[in-house]
Every structure is written in structure tokens, then in C-alpha cells.
Structure 1
Amino acid sequence: MALIYCSFTPLVVLRLLTVVIAVGSVLKAACTTTASDEAPVSRIAFGSCANQSAPQPIWDAIIKFNPQVFIWLGDNIYGDIKRPFSLFGKQRTIGPWKNVPRFAPSSEHEMQSKYVEAKTNPGYSRLKDKAKVIGTWDDHDYGLNDAGKEFGGKITNQRLLLDFLDEPQDSPRRKQAGVYTSYTYGPVGRQIKVILLDTRYHRDLMSSDGSILGTSQWTWLEKELKGPASALTIIGSSIQVISNLSATTGPLFYLESWGRFPKERSRLFQLISDRQPNFGVIEINWDAVPVSLKFEVRDLNGLPVTGVNISLLELKAKTVGSIADTKAGKDQKHCSLEVALPWLVRYRLAILFFCALAGPFAFQSVPNAAKDERCGTHAE
């Protein structure tokens, strides 16, 4: 489990989390919790990918960080059943002749037992006593690997997730289709808005270039971002927003991301762009002039992987009010897209794979040692 993920993290924590911080605006909609009478929130921790059956030493580091808010960004448990790799035999779970799905959903009782195991983890229990815990889900706590709106267990599993998060029984979140929500923390002038998306409940098939959020969630998100201003707005997504590794790994294999839904991602970027976007993850020093943010990534054992300090002014768009200019100071260099890379770089894995396969066979008819200019090898 990574403590935090942002656009400049190394591959070791590139699994799931993308957080967008926007100096933008908020709206106290139906699924919004407001805590404006509280003290300013300055320390927020993020986490995901927590296997409830595995050791979780990361909690000690998170508790030492002393966050006021901890945000689950998905895979809070691994609820589905993972079958072993099998290329041959009666039950083939991988390869072109696969006849059995690699993952299968658990029963309601099994899901509930896994949540109990996660919730009673001593480290996590201590964190819950010290910090406000909020969250959304991803596929494995949704109930099935890479699943979307077609998954039949989503209504039951929504209830189980909200129970895990101690969501009040009368919460509007228990009555809506999906677990998306938002929170506002801190006094006026120092308010932080946290918007958590649901990228599962309404998501179309990945091959469709359809919708991730669905009509109702898009309407809600637009209202959230067009209301009265807060000092910071944090948008949490359980799948990668900025990165698009599929642009590099395809067509060999594809990873889940907003990049698989180009129209949806463009719509999200445009919506955030209208609100002067900035990217990162956060520890806030409200007492600094100007207000400073500390971005940090930690590994499973809580050891720092990378980090950067930056002032809030550096994150703001260079031309306030300009939709076209959305650069965020010198640290915007960390927000790069694989799809912006040259074609040869993006598809280098596929090219190398083709060369590896074609090298021994493609030039057998060429006499002697004719050089293969495409692959840089020789055919004898």
C-alpha cells in the first residue's frame, strides 16, 4: 500500500492512485459533509491497495505522520477470489486459450469477513482513533477485478464498504447509486474540499470509450466544482487520471486508467481546467507566507520514496482565469502524459517484442550475414 501517489511518483507506487489538487471551488451538495467549524486541516494521508491478509507495517508510519484526515482511494480490501496462473490444463486462467476467469467474486459473507479483518487490524484501529477516515473504492473492494457497471454485487458491496467506513445509516450516500461523495474541512478562508469519485458503479466496458462516472455523477461533480471557492480542492480517483501507461504497453497489454476513456478524460480535464487546476498531494503549512505544501510518497514500510516542497502560489495557474494556460509553475514538469511522447517511445515495448519474435525467423532467406536494419540484429 502506498501512503500517497501523485503525478511524479516512481513506478513502485504507480498502481492506482491519482489525486488532483485544484485551487478551485466547491458546493455543499446532497452528498457533502461540512466541518467548517473545525481547526484548519494541515496533514492529510492517502492510501490504497491494502491486502487485509498480509502484514501492514505502513500503519505505524502513517500514525507517526499524525494526519488529521486519512483517505482510502480504493482496494481497501482484496475481496475477490484470485485463481492461480494456469496456461495449460482444464482450468486455464491466462493466455489465448483461457477458459476460466482469473478472478471470481466472493459471497457477501466472505466480503464482510474480509472487511472485519481489515477493520480490526491493530494499526488501522489506532489510526481510526486519531484521524477522520473517509474513502471510496476500486475494483477489488467493489467485488471483482476490473469490473464496472455490469457487476451484479455492487449494491450489496456498496453497503459493506459504507459500513466499513462507519457511514451514518441516514447518510444520502447509502441511498444513491454509487459511493461518490465530498467533504469540506476547516474554517472559512482555510477550507479544504475533498471530492471522492466512484469509477466503478457506472463505468462502461473498457473497450467502449463510454462513460466512467455516469450521467448522475457527472452532474454532481460539475456542481461541486462550480460553487463557492475553497482554498484547496482535492479530487480523488481510484484509477490513474494523468498517467496512461497503456499508451506504452499496448498492444501487448492494457492497464485501467482514464486514458482508456479518452472522451471522459478530456471532459474531466476541461472541467478542472475551467477551475484553474493544479496537481499534487498534500501537507499544508497554513502559517507559512505564502502557504506551503509538502508532497511526499512512502513505500510499504513507511520509508520516503520521493517528495517535494512547493508554495501554493507556485501551483496556481500563471494566467488567472485563462483556460488555455493551466501550467502549475516549475513543478508542472512532473505532470507529463505518456500519450504526449513520440510514437516510437510510446510503443517501444511492442516494437522490441516484435523484434524479439521476428529476429530468428524473418530473415532466414537472406544469405550470409545481412544486417537487419529494423531490429539491429544479424541473420546467419
Structure 2
Amino acid sequence: MRRLSPYAAALAGAALFAAPSGAENDVELSAEDLLAPYYAKLESEITLPVAPANVSLAPDRVITRFAFGSCNHQLRSQHMWAQIAATDPQLFLFIGDNNYGDQGWDGDAALTTLREAYGVQANTPELADFRARVPMMVTWDDHDFGFNDGGATFAFRRWAETIYEAFWGSSDAVKSRPGIYESRMFGSDGKITQVIMLDTRFFRSDLDTLDYTPERPPLGPYRPSGDTSKTMLGEAQWTWLDQELAKPADLRILVSSIQVITDAHDYESWEALPHERARLYAMLAGREESGLLMLSGDRHAGGIYRDAPEAGGGETLWELTSSSLNYAFSSTASNTAREPDPRRLTDFISEENFGLVEIDWDARTFTMSLRGSAGEVRVMRTESW
């Protein structure tokens, strides 16, 4: 007798439980619709993991130093939390691949490995100590979304969102809508920082893949798409972003889990949907007047990037990529040589790193740096806005 996979069994069970009977109710339901009763029952029967308690940051606090990072495997060394805390940041932005809950996943609709990964984090003493000292804001990337390179077609995304929101204690605003994007303001009196955390997973269309050729360098499987119906953020998030950029602020920090500016590789990036990147640039150019810095992760390497895209009216845009906290793949020398990039102004730092941004409000400058596993400065640059 052939056994159903966990995914197929869950989907079939949900279909039997949820599908209406009778020809008059013959309505086509999506996989997400069919799974909704299954997840409602599952949520009532289990206790989802919750992150260690986190201190808060007062909305009127002027930010002069914040840190960020990405790509943190829950089963690897957590020593970087102490290194980050030693820089005394007022805020930490955890910007994706905050765990690797998709590794070992067998396709079950319950996303057991993802819940287990969050469970490990819930009992990580280094994370608990850090969150007791440093306020955090969070967004996700693919591995803590639950599916490598996943997007809107991931059938279990709503359950992944439920797990995420329960763990990180998401705000009522985030819980009230699909996706996990959010924005907060900090500061006062001409020193207001807006932090915008995008969701580049929940709504994102599938990317176009390159044709296979054995001669192609191993720099990713995707190619820029000419299909303008594909989306990175989804219309609801685009509308929200436009509204956020119209709010008064002095400096905006825009967080994208995947890289924005670079065209130097074929992994996931905004380059894969060029019409969406042009839309982002145009929207940023039309923002209420403010400084701007973009942050990204994902790459298991980091650096400082600069561009002045025509779609953005020629404004100079800065992006600081930091990755990873504890999951390095290569060396800086080999990665820098492997991925030449005229828009990257530094080496491609491939050993463990986190990002630190220091703001001088009197000089109207921000200093971007990447710090290594011992807290040492790997790259640094100061720019004005």
C-alpha cells in the first residue's frame, strides 16, 4: 500500500475537513484555503515557541548607534551576541535567515523543523541575555520563512507567518495583515529615524531561472525577468511603503533581506525583478525629504555598496550588506575575486560579521562598518546625507 507523504496527507485531510459538499458549492479552493482548518486545529493543540523577553526602545529615544545582522544558524556557535552587545547598540535589527528551520524539512505541512528551530532559539541563553539588554526589530528571509528561495507560492506561508509572529511577539499592526512588514519611528526634534523592515518573501513572485550550462560560473540560478506582472512586495505592501515614505523623518533605514543595488550575481536579489527595483528607486526618490541608508543580508558575505540609478533620479544610494553571524562559507579573498562588482566599494567580507551604523546628528553623517567575530573593524566608511 502506497503511503502519502506528510504534506499530501495534511493537504488531503484539510480538503476533507474544509471542502463543501454538493455541486451547488463547487468552489475552487486554494491549497492555503484547504489548509486553514488544519492549521486552526493544530494551533489549538500545540504551544508555539516564544522568543526570550526583549527590552523595548522608547519612541522618543534618539538613535546614534544600532547594529544588524543576518544568517544565524540556531545549532552553531552563538558567540556573536556578546560581540554585538559589546558595541553598546541602542537597537538591533535581525534581518533574515534568523534560523535555518527549512534544513531537514521533509515536506510536512506542520513545518515541524521550522518550529523546532524556533524552539532551539527560545532556549538559547546567549540570545536571551542579548534580548534582555538590547531592543530588537525583526524581519525574515527564506530559511526562517520555511522554504529555500521561497515566495508567494509556498503553500504553507500563512502557517510560517503564524509561527514567526508568535515567536517574535509581532505588533498588532503586523498581525492584522498578511506578511510581516513593519515600520517604526524613533527620536525627536530633527533627529527622527524611521526604520522600515520590508517583507521580501510572503508576496514575492517566482523568479525566472537561467538555462543550464556547464560553463556558467557558480554565481546563482536566476536571471532578470521581463514579466512586469511579477512582484517583489505585493500591491498592499507597495501602497504601505509609499505611505511610510511620505511621513516626516530625518533619516530612513530601509531593510531588505536580499540585496538591492548589486548586479554582480544571479542569486536572489532585486536585480531579478528589474521593474520592481526601478519602482523602488522611483518611490525612494519621491520620499519626504530625508537621509537614506539601505541594509541587506542573505549572502553569507558583506560589504558597502553605492549606486546612483537613473530610475532614482540620479540620487546616490548606499547599501550595507552584513552576513553571516555564524555561518561563513568562504574566505574574503576568494569571494572578492569570485564576485567582482563596480558597485561594491570594499572587499566582500566572508568571515563571520555583523553590521554597525553610527549616526552623527550634528554633522548629518552615518558611519557604516562591518565587525568581525572578535568585534574588530573589517570595513568602515562615513557618508553625509
TM more than 0.5: yes
Q: In the alignment, does 2:124 pair up with 1:121? A: yes
In the TM superposition, what is the alpha-carbon distance from 1:217 to its structure 2 partner? 0.6
Is the aligned partner of 1:239 residue 2:258?
yes
Residue 110 of structure 1 aligns with which residue?
113
Residue of structure 2 in register with 1:306 after alignment: 379
The change in CA–CA distance for 1:37 and 1:267 in structure 2 (over 3 A counts) is closer
Structure 2 residue 63 is the aligned partner of structure 1 residue 60: no
Q: CA RMSD in A?
A: 2.3
| Long gaps (5+) in structure 2 | 1-55, 209-224, 293-316, 321-356
- For residue 98 of structure 2, what is the aligned residue in structure 1? 76
In structure 2, the CA distance between the partners of 1:56 and 1:273, relative to structure 1 (3 Å rule), is same
Match 1:284 to one of 359, 374, 380: 359
How far did residue 36 of structure 1 move? 6.8
Distance 1:35 1:118, change over 3 A: closer
User: C-alpha distance in 2, partners of 1:280/1:110?
Assistant: 33
- 1:110: how far off? 2.7
The Cα of 1:56 is off from its aligned counterpart by 2.2
CA 1:280–1:180: 2 relative to 1, 3 Å: same
Q: Aligned residue pairs: how many?
A: 248
Q: CA deviation at 1:73?
A: 0.8
Q: Is the 8 A contact 1:69 1:131 kept in 2?
A: yes
Structure 1 SS opposite 2:132:
helix
Does the 8 Å CA contact 1:78/1:140 hold for their aligned counterparts?
A: yes
Residue equivalent to 1:354 = none
Between 208-217 and 74-83, the greater mean CA deviation after superposition: 74-83
Report the CA distance between 1:172 and its aligned residue: 2.2
**Structure 2 counterpart of 1:269, one-letter code:** Y
Write the letter of the residue equivalent to 2:74.
Answer: Q
Query: What is the DSSP-based 3-state SS (H/G/I as helix, E as strand, rest coil) of the residue aligned with 1:158?
Result: helix
Q: Counterpart of 2:31?
A: none
Q: Report how far residue 192 of structure 1 moved.
A: 0.6
Alignment of 1:97-176 (within 5 A): 107-168=110-171, 171-176=172-177
- CA distance in 1 between counterparts of 2:244 and 2:178 reads 17
Match of 2:283 among 271, 281, 294: 271
Distance verdict in 2 for CA 1:225–1:56, change over 3 Å: same
Per-residue deviation at 1:243?
1.1
Amino acid at match of 2:126: G
Contact 2:232–2:276 (CA under 8 A) maintained in structure 1 = yes
**Which of 40, 53, 67 is equivalent to 1:45?**
67
Partner SS, residue 70 of structure 1: strand
Secondary structure in 1 aligned to 2:241?
helix
- Separation in 2 of the partners of 1:303 and 1:106? 43
Alpha-carbon contact 1:182-1:196 (below 8 Å) kept: yes
TM-superposition CA deviations, 1:245-279 (whole Å, max 9, x none): 23xxxxxxx30000000000001011112236542
Deviations 1:14-67 (A, max 9, x none): xxxxxxxxxxxxxxxxxxxx9775321111111110000111221111010111
* One-letter amino acid of the structure 2 residue matched with residue 120 of structure 1: N
TM-score by length of 1: 0.61
Kindly provide the amino acid, as one letter, of the partner of residue 197 in structure 2.
L
| SS in structure 2 of the partner of residue 62 of structure 1 | helix
* CA shift in 2, pair 1:305/1:126, >3 Å: same
| Conserved? CA contact 1:43–1:68, under 8 Å | yes
What is the alpha-carbon distance in structure 2 between the residues aligned to residue 81 and residue 106 of structure 1?
A: 15
- The corresponding residue for 2:220 is none
Distance 1:106 1:244, change over 3 A: farther
1:123–1:106 Cα change, 3 Å: farther
* Shift of residue 166, structure 1, vs aligned partner: 2.1
Counterparts in 2 of 1:57 and 1:105: CA distance versus 1, 3 Å: farther
Of the three residues 274, 294, 297, the one matched with 1:262 is 274
Using CA pairs under 8 Å that are at least 6 residues apart, name the structure with larger relative contact order, 1 or 2: 1
**3-state DSSP of counterpart to 1:125:** helix
8 Å Cα contact 1:80-1:144 kept in structure 2: yes
Cα deviations by residue, 1:303-331 (Å, 9 ceiling, x for unpaired)? 32101233xxx33xxxxxxxxxxxxxxxx
Distance 1:54 1:173 in 2: 30
**Structure 1 residue ranges without an equivalent (≥5):** 1-33, 84-102, 247-253, 316-380
Say if 1:81 and 1:105, in contact at 8 Å, map to a contact too. no
State how far apart, in whole Å, the 2-side matches of 1:104 and 1:303 are: 41
- Which amino acid is 2:318 matched to? F
Q: In 1, Cα distance between the equivalents of 2:98 and 2:57? A: 24
**1:297 alignment partner, one of 359, 366, 370:** 370
SS at 2:194's partner residue?
strand
